[in-house]
């Protein structure tokens, strides 16, 4: 049976988390029957779990029976690991569609939008974790299972540099904006962080065609209603229970200068100056400035010399036109 989608379960507290991610990506890349996408669920095991030690499977069973899958990991660790997964996916499995879930709810099962026929877990003693995943996500009893627990020869990168100077906190009302054309892993890091930082409601602005006129190959940018629909689909996949609104941006400010209750704006390195402009407007109107949470860019290791070194929609639009093999001859 071909796999419509894949589910990875990764322990963010594992000392070799990065190595386990790399092992999982290699397994998925060599699995030829991935038709739709790869879902990633991150959990934090207890110190006695087999994910971080050689404890017995019975202790792991006890850990999972306490609701481990429905408990959200520490916020900074969740942000670090989410960013790392998307960065690693861009580097090692760029053709696959990854979604890091944030479905931490005691209500079970958290059924996914497509059938999962392949389950990857990052432990040697798989049975307790597999049973928990089947129950939590309502997976088929005969789902194929592979251990992606990395051996000691697999490189293991430190994640401490990611958001090392930040002490993130959650806010009731958050906002972000962007073009969101051909949603890629850079967008997913940005949206995923905004979702993680939001307690109650998230406002997402999507630029209209008039705002996109200066962008590379703006003629190829997807119509705004399609881009807004793609944003909605992503948010609902990641965290279905969150309250959110997707609005049209006709200028850089949007609802951020009219909605006083907004508390935090999530930006990238490229858009953080816009957040400063927004806060100046808010202060001028007697509103409190919003906290600014800045997301690092996702590198594109396969870019051409004339393309962005980061994953970008501009590069994707250029790829739609085809690759330039040589400079055209100028006829006189």
pLDDT at res. 194: 97
Predicted local distance difference test score (pLDDT) of residue 188: 96
Q: What is the pLDDT along the chain (332 residues), one digit of tens a residue?
A: 445 789 999 999 999 999 999 999 988 887 766 666 899 999 998 543 333 333 334 444 444 445 778 889 999 999 999 999 999 998 888 888 999 999 998 776 788 878 898 999 998 777 888 988 998 999 999 999 999 999 889 989 888 777 777 789 999 999 999 999 889 999 999 999 999 999 999 999 999 988 766 765 556 688 999 999 999 999 999 999 999 999 999 999 999 999 999 999 999 888 888 999 999 999 999 999 999 999 877 654 444 444 444 445 455 445 555 555 466 677 76
H/E run at residue 111: none
CA distances (Å), 25 to each of 29, 92, 116, 204, 324, in order? 6, 7, 16, 30, 30
CA–CA separation, 296 vs 159, rounded Å? 13
pLDDT of amino acid 296: 79
Question: How high is the pLDDT of residue 65?
Answer: 46
pTM of structure: 0.83
Nearest CA among 151, 37, 154, 18 for reference residue 80 = 18
Give the containing element (helix H, strand E) for 8. strand 3-11
Distance CA 136, CA 68 (A): 10
Q: What pLDDT is stored for residue 4 in this prediction?
A: 75
What sign does the dihedral 111-117-119-124 (CA atoms) show?
Answer: positive
Cβ atoms within 10 Å, residue 286: 7
């Amino acid at each position: 049976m071909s796999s419509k989608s894949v589910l990875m379960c990764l322990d963010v507290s594992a000392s070799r988390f990065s190595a386990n991610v790399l092992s999982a990506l290699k397994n998925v890349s060599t699995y030829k029957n991935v038709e739709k996408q790869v879902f990633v669920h991150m959990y934090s095991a207890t110190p006695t779990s087999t994910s971080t030690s050689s404890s017995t499977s019975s202790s792991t069973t006890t850990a999972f029976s306490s609701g481990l899958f429905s408990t959200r990991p520490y916020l900074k660790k969740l942000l670090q690991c989410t960013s790392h997964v998307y960065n690693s996916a861009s580097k090692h499995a760029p053709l696959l569609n990854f979604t890091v879930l944030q479905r931490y709810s005691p209500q079970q099962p958290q059924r996914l939008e497509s059938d999962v026929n392949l389950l990857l877990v990052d432990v040697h003693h798989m049975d307790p974790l597999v049973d928990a995943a089947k129950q939590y996500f309502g997976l088929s009893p005969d789902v194929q299972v592979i251990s992606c627990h990395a051996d000691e020869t697999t490189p293991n990168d430190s994640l401490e540099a990611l958001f090392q100077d930040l002490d993130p906190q959650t806010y009731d009302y958050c906002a972000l904006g962007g073009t969101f054309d051909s949603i890629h892993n850079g967008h997913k890091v940005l949206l995923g962080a905004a979702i993680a930082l939001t307690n109650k409601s998230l406002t997402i602005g999507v630029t209209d065609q008039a705002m996109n006129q200066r962008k590379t190959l703006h003629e190829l940018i997807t119509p705004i209603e399609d881009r807004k629909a793609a944003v909605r689909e992503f948010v609902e996949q990641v965290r279905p229970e969150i309250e959110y609104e997707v609005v049209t941006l006709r200028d850089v400010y949007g609802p951020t200068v009219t909605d006083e209750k907004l508390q935090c704006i999530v930006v990238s390195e490229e858009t953080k100056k816009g957040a400063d402009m927004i806060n100046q407007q808010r202060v001028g109107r007697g509103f409190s400035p919003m906290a600014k949470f800045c997301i690092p860019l996702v590198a594109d290791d396969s870019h051409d010399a004339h393309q962005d070194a980061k994953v970008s929609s501009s590069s994707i639009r250029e790829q739609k036109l085809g690759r330039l093999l040589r400079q055209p001859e100028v006829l006189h």
